[in-house]
Structure 1
Amino acid sequence: MPVGFVLMLIHLLFIARGYITAGSFAESDEMDADAAASI
């Protein structure tokens, strides 16, 4: 496997861990869940 791919996976795990443990995600006041689902 290329080294860049492995580094990308490690980076993704570190970033995703913060979102999963905090339980918060990016929210928008301009768009609700129904509008986002229809995109």
Structure 2
Amino acid sequence: MDVPSALVVAVGGIGALATLGMVVVLARRAPDTPRR
């Protein structure tokens, strides 16, 4: 079975949003951490 490209794009988008969300939360919780 071939995986629908739409499903791949959806999963990738959700993963990217989740990653960005985690980064933002961590950045807000640790403002003292130096940013590169």
Give the TM-score normalised by structure 1: 0.49
- Number of residue pairs aligned between Structure 1 and Structure 2: 24
- Identify the structure with the greater helix proportion: 2
Please, what is the CA RMSD of the aligned residues? 1.6
Q: Which residue of 1 is the match for residue 23 of structure 2? A: 21
Q: Give runs of ≥4 in structure 1 deviating > 6 Å.
A: none
Q: Which residue of 1 is the match for residue 12 of structure 2? A: 10
Match of 1:23, SS state, is helix
Q: Percent identity?
A: 12
Long gaps (5+) in structure 2 = 27-36
